[in-house]
Structure formats: C-alpha cells, structure tokens
C-alpha cells in the first residue's frame, strides 16, 4: 500500500478535501489534520511555512502531494479545472521535477510565487514570462521538502480563479500565515469597497469547485494505493 501525504496551505482546503473524501480528523493535532487508510491530509500554512514544525506529527509516507487551489495563468483554464503539472517553477528560475501519477495525466508547468497575484495584468505577465499554466505559493517548497527526504513529490491543484481576475490583497490578508482563515477579516475586506463582496462570493465558489476536482483526483489515486 502506497501511503500518501497530502498537504494544503489553508485550513479550509484541508477540511474541504477531508469532507469530500470522508477522512476523519486526528484529534491529537492542534491544526487541521485528517487520515483514513492510505491517505493523510495536513494543513501546512501559506508558503508551506508550518511544514517543518508539523512534520513530527505526520505518519510515515511514500508520496507527498501539494494539493488545493491555484490561480490560472493560461487563459484557457476555468474555475474547477484540474492542474497536474509536469514541472514546478519558482521565481528564482529553479525547476522542480514532479513524480508522475497513474491515471492522472500531467501537462505543462505550475509557478510558485512568494506573494498573492492581485491582478489579471500580473497574471498575464507571469504567463508570458514563464509559460506556466497556473500559479500557487506552496508547491515548490513542498517538492523541495520531499526531495530532502528522498520521497517523490507531486502536485494536484484545482483552479479557483481564472486568468482574467486576481485575488485582492485585502481578501488574501484574511488568511494567516499558518493557514487559518479569519472570517471577520474576510467579511470586513468584502465590505470595504464596491464589488469586493461579489469577488469574495465568486472566489469562494471557485475554491469549492477547485477542491471538488482535487478530491476526485485524490480518490482516483487512493483506489490505486
């Protein structure tokens, strides 16, 4: 049996995937942490900042997967589309190989950035500069961590926001570095300017669609484990 560790940036992602997959929460963990059978899901914070400190609470694993939502850079991607890259790039020009996953064909590149991409213009520039289909803030860090341990790493992401829109900084600030979503801050940001509430609703719907797609892919993977 292949033991699979799935790591997400945000607590909502970990909980959403666990709900779709029927995984139980591990009560001994103070952070979102779920497991059943071959699958384990752990929230490791933005930019995978909590991965090193939370590693001691993880089970033994044979494969690490960076999972959750991502933003589209390629215009052809829509909310809910699955992104399984062949390679992950970072802004320093490094390339991280991705282990292939059976029955989940890989295509193109995913770019890991340091900060939230706020506008469609920024997305367009990143797409033209790198050729990456989508963007996140964690996968390069997760793959580097896996490589240090001699364990294969892969990426399964779902698009939450298309190339025509970014994620406003005020909404992004509602997520703490450890991955906790602060609902009051999100609501305050949504009410701060005209149109922001609609952006929040659309982003939430896109994130739900993304997690549903990722959960489906993980379920496919689990059946082969």
Kindly report whether the global pTM for this prediction surpasses the value 0.85.
yes
> Tell me: the pLDDT tens digits for 93-151?
999 999 999 889 999 999 999 999 999 999 999 999 999 999 999 999 999 999 999 99
Residues 6+ apart with CB under 8 A from 177: 45, 46, 47, 49
Task: State the chain's maximal CA–CA distance in angstroms.
Answer: 52
SS3 of 134, please? strand
Contact 166, 118 (CB under 8 A): yes
Q: Which domains does the chain have, with CATH numbers?
A: 4-224 (3.40.50.1580)
Whether residue 174 has pLDDT greater than 80: no
């Amino acid at each position: 049996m292949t033991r699979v560790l799935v790591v997400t940036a945000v607590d909502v992602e970990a909980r959403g995937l666990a709900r779709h997959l029927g995984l139980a929460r591990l009560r001994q963990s103070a952070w979102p942490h779920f497991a059943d059978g071959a699958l384990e899901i752990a929230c490791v914070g933005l930019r995978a900042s909590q991965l090193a400190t939370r590693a001691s609470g993880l089970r033994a694993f044979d494969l690490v997967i960076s999972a959750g939502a991502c933003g589209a850079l390629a215009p052809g991607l829509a909310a809910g589309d699955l992104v399984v890259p062949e390679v992950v790039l970072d802004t320093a020009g490094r390339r991280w190989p991705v282990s292939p996953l059976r029955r989940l064909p890989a295509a193109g590149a995913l770019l890991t950035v340091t900060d939230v991409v706020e506008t469609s213009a920024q997305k367009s520039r990143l797409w033209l500069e790198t050729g990456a289909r989508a963007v996140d803030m964690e996968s390069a860090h997760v793959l580097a961590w896996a490589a240090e341990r001699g364990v294969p790493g892969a990426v399964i992401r779902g698009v939450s926001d298309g190339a025509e829109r970014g994620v406003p900084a005020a909404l992004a600030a509602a997520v703490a570095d450890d991955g906790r979503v602060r609902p009051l801050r999100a609501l305050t940001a949504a009410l701060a300017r005209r149109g922001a509430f609609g952006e929040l609703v659309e982003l939430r719907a896109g994130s739900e669609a993304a997690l549903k797609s990722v959960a489906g892919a993980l379920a496919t993977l689990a059946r082969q484990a």
